[in-house]
Amino acid sequence: MTEYLNNELIYKSFILGAKNVIQEKNGLNAINVFPVPDGDTGSNLASMMQSIIERSKLGKTSEETLQSIADAAIVGARGNSGIIFAQYIYGFSLNVQNEVSKESFAEMLKRASTYAYQSISKPVEGTMITVMRAFAHAVETVKTKGNDFLDILTNAFEMVKIELARTPELLAVLKENKVVDAGAKGFVHFIEGFIKALKGEEIDMSPKETIDHIHVDHLEDSQYRYCTEALLRGTNFNLDDIRTSLSNDGDSLVVAGSDKTVRIHIHSDYPDQVFEKLSKLGRLSEQKVDDMRRQFEAANHPKYKIALVTDSIADLPESYIDEHQIHQYPLNLHMEDTIYYDKITIKSDRFYQMMDDLSVYPSSSQPNQKQLENFFSFLTTYYDDIIVITVSEEMSGTYRAFVEASQKFSDKKIRVINSKQNSGAEGLLVMKAQELIQQGLPVDDIVEKMDHYVKQSKIYVSVKTLKYMVKNGRVSKVTGLIGKITNLKPVISIDENGKGIISDKGLSLKSSDQKIYNHVKEAMERSGIEKYAIVHAKGGQRVDDYIEKYTKLIGRAPDYVMDISTIVAMNAGLGTIAVSYIEGDKS
């Protein structure tokens, strides 16, 4: 008989509860229709549970153990349900005795459900909070019927399952789709695992097979696009004040944590504005932005069985990316003690206004490994295969980061292709891969053909000034000074190994423009040009000149013309203009 929960049993119960949720990840994703039918509730809850397993430790006392679990939950929390659950655990962890009696356990559950409820800006019944409150009430009701914790929780669990089955009666979207709430079901699975620990059982964390996914016809027109999250660190945070300051920036707002560490979740169309506000309150130690429109499409209306992924260095029009459901993963930009997401939380126009006034020039970094694993966890739920095309391995650790994350998913075919290019050239390769997917080719054939197109791709960049390359360390200060004195206008390209090189040097923009033209003309005469694009950083009139010149040379307008990514602009600088192309195959 278990009359008290001691330190070791509390720890084991949380670990088994976490494992049980991870095991049910796919099933939870399949029934996720609220607050957004983007099919990631299971993945988000699994992320938080994995953080508990990896980060929490058995302390010397129950208080230490639960504090460790609560901290791990906040740090690993993802999504609406994950952050609410993390705040539930935080509430549960407060004022705990070393041996938890059934009376104190009931009080802890009541406090936990209150904290979870208060974390939400606009709580909705029929969701996780309803079932959390029902569990607290059930334990309170049955605690007088015996002293054995196993009996108490088993009886309470049966009552909670009834409450879970009632969630469609409280929330119309659940009733319409004939499902229970995914977050609430995740909580019930956690309690189920918790009870298994009391029985002395173990749990295999391997996710169960995917069940039939609930398909939703469309998103509401009022639906915000980006699931925006941040981990804020500092001192003396007031969660109510943070909640108030963000109340007009979107919906599904959840603010959880303590006075030193806060996890924020909000659905918004302008994540850059959300992060700008939060950066003034504390240190943004972690950010996450998910494109819920793309997630919804993947979960409900995928165009293809193969997911096409690229990074934000690939310059490709947003309209094309949206049309073909391409998943573009934003890279990190470190600026003024804050991490921004390229093209999402920092746009080129804003960066151009700031770049000349920064005391410390920004830098970029490869993707966060854990976030990449979460990203692949979602995609592998809905696609048979995944093809990733990254910026050149010689220029960034992005390729290696994608490869390492993909190795966690040996049961799925994730192919990571080193484009050996960047910017417009990388974008054209993504476009070519998309066309091959659209033709219905097997993934192995696509990868083989892409190896050929990588070799056929090229980019030539006219740099207006070397000062930005000096600032980011791409060229030495001496070279920059010489370039300034001689008015050097280099032509930057990428060699066959994917390494950036100075391919030509002009003493005027007109001269460097002509050298680029000569290179493209040679390729046109040699093999023809299958695709080409013009990209720039505030190129001005030169952009129009390039369009006219190359339309005449190649016989058709560019496949696209667009502004370069923030990270590319950081390296190349204002006034940069580039031509990228894929050569044809004619002899």
Question: What pLDDT is recorded for position 465?
Answer: 65
The answer to whether residue 21 is domain-embedded is yes
The answer to whether residue 142 is domain-embedded is yes
Q: How far apart are CA 529 and CA 523, in angstroms?
A: 7
Question: Residue 153 above 60 pLDDT?
Answer: yes
Tell me the pLDDT tens digit for each residue of 557-587.
999 999 988 888 787 778 889 999 999 986 4
Secondary structure of 316-373 in the HEC alphabet? CCHHHHHHCCCEEECCEEEECCEEEEECCCECHHHHHHHCCCCCCCCEEECCCHHHHH
What pLDDT band is residue 89 in, cutting at 50, 70 and 90? very high
Q: How far apart are CA 524 and CA 526, in angstroms?
A: 5
Question: What pLDDT is recorded for position 570?
Answer: 80
Tell me the pLDDT tens digit for each residue of 413-445.
899 999 999 999 999 999 999 999 999 999 999
The answer to whether residue 490 is domain-embedded is yes
Length of the chain: 587
Helices (H) and strands (E) in the chain, counts: 25, 17
Of 156, 172, 198, the one marking the end of a domain is 198
Burial of 183 (0-12, 13-18, 19+ CB in 10 A): buried
Q: In this structure, what token pair is assigned to residue 65?
A: 């153990």
What average pLDDT does the segment 467-484 reach?
45
Question: What pLDDT is recorded for position 344?
Answer: 86
The answer to whether residue 370 is domain-embedded is no
Q: In this structure, what token pair is assigned to residue 426?
A: 């990388």
What average pLDDT does the segment 300-309 reach?
94
Please tell me the total count of domains within the chain. Answer: 2
> Among residues 522, 544, 524, which one has the least CA distance to residue 534?
544
Question: What pLDDT is recorded for position 221?
Answer: 59
> Among residues 501, 497, 502, which one has the least CA distance to residue 394?
497
Could you say which DSSP state residue 466 is in?
S
Q: How far apart are CA 198 and CA 176, in angstroms?
A: 37
The answer to whether residue 211 is domain-embedded is no
What average pLDDT does the segment 463-467 reach?
69
Question: What pLDDT is recorded for position 476?
Answer: 41
Provide the 10 A C-beta neighbour count for residue 42: 31
> Among residues 227, 136, 128, which one has the least CA distance to residue 183?
128
Classified as helix, coil or strand, 194 is helix
Tell me the pLDDT tens digit for each residue of 10-42.
999 999 999 999 999 989 998 988 888 777 899
CATH of the domain at 487: 3.30.1180.10
Secondary structure of 237-257 in the HEC alphabet? CCHHHHHHHCCCCCEEEEEEE
Of 143, 167, 198, the one marking the end of a domain is 198
Cis-peptide, bond into residue 302, ω within 30° of zero: no
The answer to whether residue 414 is domain-embedded is no
Question: What pLDDT is recorded for position 485?
Answer: 37
Provide the 10 A C-beta neighbour count for residue 258: 15
pTM: 0.76
CATH of the domain at 188: 1.25.40.340
Q: How far is CA 43 from CA 49, 64, 187, 321, 364, in A?
A: 10, 28, 14, 24, 27
Of 179, 198, 217, the one marking the end of a domain is 198
More confident residue, 285 or 547: 547
User: pLDDT above 90 covers what percent of the chain?
Assistant: 64
What average pLDDT does the segment 163-167 reach?
96
Angle at 69 between CA 66 and CA 74, to 5 degrees: 125
The answer to whether residue 216 is domain-embedded is no
- 104-118, 209-223, 441-455, 510-524: least confidently modelled range: 209-223
Provide the 10 A C-beta neighbour count for residue 555: 10
What pLDDT band is residue 468 in, cutting at 50, 70 and 90? low
More confident residue, 435 or 377: 435
Q: Which domain holds residue 11?
A: 7-198
Q: How far apart are CA 516 and CA 538, in angstroms?
A: 19
What average pLDDT does the segment 300-306 reach?
92
- Cα 138 to chain center, whole Å? 37
Could you say which DSSP state residue 268 is in?
E
Angle at 204 between CA 203 and CA 206, to 5 degrees: 140
The answer to whether residue 509 is domain-embedded is yes
Q: Could you give the count of Cα atoms lying within 13 Å of 46 in the half-sphere of its Cβ?
A: 26
